[in-house]
Amino acid sequence: MGKGTGVVTSVPSDSPDDFAAFNEYKNGDDKKLEFYKVERNWLNDIEVVPIIDIPEYGNTIAVKLCTDMKVSGQKDKVKLAEAKEIAYKQGFNFGVFCIGEHNGKKVNEVKDVIK
């Protein structure tokens, strides 16, 4: 409890759970935003940032899986669990970074370096 910043990293390009939450806020109703004291204009310019490119899925696997599987939102736990399993396995085994210091490198080859 005494450590940390209170900042939680969200990766809506590669995490179906994070994309579902992001999408709910970005495209959801104003009541939820009001409840959490989030102003709609804060979200206007925020887009999903591609991080890992995966053959057959592109560079935003979470977006593709959630769209293809018709994930309705964060409460769609069964579909999200299935999407998460696919995304994480595909990302680790076949993913290549498309941004940053490890751009062009395979995820499974630089995992320990990044750790």
pLDDT at residue 2 in the model: 65
The rounded distance, in Å, linking the Cα atoms of 66 and 21 is: 11
pLDDT band at 30 (very low <50, low <70, confident <90, very high): confident
CATH of domain 16-114: 3.90.740.10
Which residue in this structure is represented by tokens 């994930």?
Answer: 71
The rounded distance, in Å, linking the Cα atoms of 115 and 96 is: 16
Query: What are the tokens at 65?
Result: 């899986």
User: Amino acid identity of 104?
Assistant: G
pLDDT band at 3 (very low <50, low <70, confident <90, very high): low
pLDDT at residue 12 in the model: 94
pLDDT tens figures, 39-98: 888 888 889 999 999 999 999 999 999 999 999 999 999 999 999 999 999 999 999 999
Q: Which residues, 6 or more positions from 22, have their beta carbon under 8 angstroms from its beta carbon?
A: 10, 12, 46, 48
User: Amino acid identity of 102?
Assistant: H
